[in-house]
Chain A
C-alpha cells in the first residue's frame, strides 16, 4: 500500500512547498488560486439545484476530484457488471487514490492490477470492449500513454471505420489518465497530450474541470457514449478542488461546451485547470475596467468539440481568447481560433489570441514560466479589448 502512495504524497507535499512558484510579495495577479472561494465550484448544495445536468432533488456530498472519480467508478461498477476497472496499481487504489476500496467492494475479477505495459493495457481494453464489455482502463500518468498510442490511434479510433457490417465496436472503452502540471512534475509527470488525441477522428477526448463535472462526464463516457473515450483528469485538482457532488447517477453530455459565466465583451474559451486562472483574471479585469463583462466557456469535450456554442458566443462578443495549459504549437487553441476566424470573421473586432504553454519541455523548476498564468491571461484580455 505504501509503495503506490509514496509518489502522491511526495507530489502534493511538494506543491505546497511551492519553491519556484511562490508569489513574490508584490504580486497582484499571480496569487495562488483560492479553490475555497472560486465561483467555479459548488461550495453549497443549493448551487447544484436548477442546473439541468444534475439530478433534481439530489443529495450531495463535498468531494474532491479523486473522490468524485471514485464515486463515479463505484456508481458505474454497481450499475453494470460489464464495467471493468484495471490499470497499474489500480487494485490498491491507484497512485492518486481514484480506485480506493473498489477491489474490496467489487472483487478482483472486475477491479485488478495490470503489468506495467501500457500498450498491452490499451489493446487488452480494446479487445474486451469489442466483445461488449465496458473497460475503464487507467494509464497511470498521461505521460505514460505513448507506448499505447498505436493501440489508441490505429486500433481503437479506427475500429468502427473498418469493421464493415459486423457491428463490432469498442464503444464501451474509456481510457482514464491524470494529466497536467502540479508544480514540479518535470518532463514525465506534467504533460497534457489532449491535442495529440484530438487530432484523431474516432476518439472522444474529455477534460473535466471540477469534481461534479468529472463524475457526470465520466459516467457519460462509460454508459452513454458508444465511441472510445480518452478521459484526462487534471491531477492538480485531485485534492485541491472540493465541491458538492450529487450522490446519484447522472450524466453530462459529451461534445457539449458550457458557458460558465455569461458576458458581452469578450469570450474566453478554455478547459480543465486553467479555467480557474481565467476566472481569476476575469474578476481582476472586471474590477479594473469598469463595465467590462467577459464570457467564460468550458469546452469540456476537446474533440469532437462544440463549435456552435463557441461561435454563438464570439458572434455576440466579437472578441476571443483561447487558454490552455498544453503547448501552443498545433494545440487546441490553434483549432479553436482558426474555427472562430472561419466562422465569425466578419464579427471579429480583434485577432483571436491564444494563451497556452510554451513549445518547450517542462523543466523541473520552470513550470511557472512556461504555463499560462493569471497575469498573462489578464494581459491577453486587455490587449484584445483595446485592440
Chain B
C-alpha cells in the first residue's frame, strides 16, 4: 500500500509535466502497476494491480484493475518488446545506410500496444492494422529475417519483397495496409466472417489518430454495431497524424468516444499490462455477443511519422525526451519486474542479450539474402492465380511483354 500511494503521488507530478500538451487523462506511465507475493515458480499465476488511471470508459463498465500473469509471461513480454525495438532500430539503420528504400514507418515507443494485444488474444484471433506494422507482423508469427528481408526487397521477405514496409501478412494477420483507414471496414468484414462461422474469436482492427477521421472508419463502426460484430476497433493515438497533432485534426480527440453508439475504452498504451488487461476484457466482451468496442491506446512514437520526417518540427525535443526517459514501455516493465523480484538484474540482462543477439543474427541473415533475379517473372507473378493467368501481360512496350 505504501508503494501504491507513492505511485499515486508521482503520477500527478508526471502529468503536470504535460501541461502544455493536449490533456490525456489516462496515465501514460509505463510503470504504474503494483504486485506483491510473487511466487517462486515461473508459471504460477499471480495478480498485478493496475493503476486506477489505466483506463477511462465510455458507456462501459471498466475492465478489472487486476491482471493475472506469470513470471514467464512477463519475461516473454519483455523479450518481445525488446525484439521489436531492436528490429525497428535495425530498420532505422538500414534505411539510413540507404539499403532500405521507399517508405518506412517505425513503431519505436509503441511496442507495448503490439505486445499487449498479442498476449491477450490467441492465434485464431485476427489482427489488421495500418502501415506501422512491423511489430504486429513479428507478434503474429513473422520472423525478423522475413520482415527485414521484406524491407530490403528480398525474395525471402514476408511478401516476397514486393510490398516493403507497409505490407506484411501472416497467418491471421491481414496487413499492413498503406491506405489510411482502408483496413477498418476490411476488419469489420473479418469480424463478420467470425460471427458467421461462429468462431469464438475477435478481430483487432487498428488505425491511427489520423485515420480516425476517414469516412470509412465510421461506416465500419455503423455496420459493426448494426450487426453486433465481435470487432475491437482500436485507435493507436500517438498524438500526431503525420505532422499534425490530434487536437488540430480532430474535433473530438477522445477517440474512444468516437463510436458514439459503441462503448469505448481508453487504455494506457505505454503499459503492456494495462493493454493486455484491456484487450482480454474486450475480447471476452465481443465474443460473448455484446458487440464491438472502440479502444483508444494512448501511446507515443519516438521517431518521425516516417523515415523522411525528423519528427521534431511539430513537437519539441523535450517532449520526446521526456516520454523516452519517463514513460518508456520497456523501461517501465523492466522497473516493475525488478521491483517485484520477477527476475534478477543478471537474468534481465541475459534476456536483453538473447533478444538483441537473435534480432541481430536475423538482420544479418536478411542482409545477406540475395538481391532478386533480374527477371520479369517476379514482377508479373501473383497478379492472378498462378497457372490461370492470361497468356501475357503488357510491359511498357511490346518487347517488354511478359508471357506466362
Contact = CB atoms under 8 A, between A and B. Distances in A.
Contacts of A305: 390
Given A150-B179, A161-B383, A123 B193 contact: no
A163 B223 contact: no
A135 to B, nearest CB: 8
A127 B388 CA distance: 23
B190 A131 contact: yes
Interface stretch (A52-60, A112-120, A179-187, A351-359): A112-120
Interface string B180-219: 0010111111111110110000000000000000011001
B383 to A, nearest CB: 5
Contacts of B385: 160, 171, 226-227
B170 interface: yes
Interface residues of A, number: 44
B189 A161 contact: no
B182 A123 contact: yes
B60 interface: no
Interface in A42-96: 84
B159 A126 contact: no
Nearest to A226: B385
A124 B393 contact: no
Interface in B129-171: 157-160, 162-163, 167-171
A227 B383 CA distance: 9
B1 interface: no
A120 B216 contact: yes
A126 B384 contact: no
A193 interface: no
Contact of A115 (B177, B222, B388, B393): B222
Contact of B189 (A119, A125, A201): A125
A342 B401 CA distance: 12
B318 interface: no
A4 interface: no
B264 interface: no
B116 to A, nearest CB: 24
Contacts of A150: 179, 182
Contacts of B190: 127-128, 130-131
Contacts of A147: 215
B176 interface: yes
A115 B169 CA distance: 29
A166 B219 contact: no
Interface in B218-271: 219-220, 222-223, 226
Contacts of B329: none
B382 to A, nearest CB: 5
* B: interface residue count bin: 35 or more
Interface string A306-324: 0110000000000000000
B192 A127 contact: yes
A84 B227 CA distance: 14
B282 interface: no
A155 interface: yes
Interface in B81-101: none
B175 interface: yes
B174 interface: yes
Nearest to B194: A131
B169 A162 contact: yes
A124 B181 CA distance: 13
A127 B185 CA distance: 8
Contacts of B393: 201, 304
Interface in A137-184: 147, 150-151, 154-155, 160-166, 168, 171
Contact of B186 (A114, A155, A165): A155
A246 interface: no
Given A123-B184, A130-B190, A162-B167, A117 B219 contact: yes
A310 B179 CA distance: 38
A130 B216 contact: no
A202 B192 CA distance: 24
A133 interface: yes
Contacts of A151: 182, 185-186, 216
A92 B401 CA distance: 47
Contacts of A166: 169-171, 173
Nearest to B380: A201
A109 B220 contact: no
B384 A123 contact: no
A119 B390 CA distance: 29
Contacts of B184: 123
A255 interface: yes
B220 A164 contact: no
A21 interface: no
A132 interface: yes
A176 to B, nearest CB: 17
B391 to A, nearest CB: 7
Nearest to B159: A164
B13 interface: no
A304 B169 contact: no
Contacts of B192: 124, 127-128
Interface in A197-252: 201-202, 226-227
Contacts of B174: 127, 130, 168
A307 B159 CA distance: 31
A154 B182 CA distance: 9
A124 B383 contact: no
B215 A124 contact: no
A144 to B, nearest CB: 14
Contacts of A133: 193, 196
A155 B179 contact: yes
Nearest to B128: A127
A202 B182 contact: no
B369 to A, nearest CB: 15
Question: Among the interface residues B173, B174, B219, which one has the most CB atoms of the partner chain A within 10 A?
Answer: B219
A95 B173 CA distance: 37
A123 B382 contact: no
Given A164-B160, A304-B384, A117 B216 contact: yes
Nearest to B390: A304
16 contacts: A84-B196, A117-B219, A117-B223, A120-B219, A120-B223, A126-B186, A127-B191, A131-B190, A132-B193, A151-B182, A151-B216, A160-B385, A162-B176, A163-B159, A201-B393, A342-B398
Interface of A: 84, 109, 114-115, 117, 119-120, 122-133, 135, 147, 150-151, 154-155, 160-166, 168, 171, 201-202, 226-227, 255, 304-305, 307-308, 342
Given A125-B189, A129-B189, A304-B393, 17 more contacts: A109-B196, A117-B216, A124-B185, A126-B186, A127-B187, A127-B189, A130-B190, A135-B189, A151-B185, A155-B186, A160-B382, A163-B169, A164-B170, A171-B385, A201-B384, A304-B384, A304-B389
The 3 A-B pairs of least Cβ separation, nearest first, read A127-B189, A123-B185, A120-B219
Interface of B: 128, 157-160, 162-163, 167-171, 173-179, 182, 184-194, 196-197, 215-216, 219-220, 222-223, 226, 382-385, 388-391, 393, 398
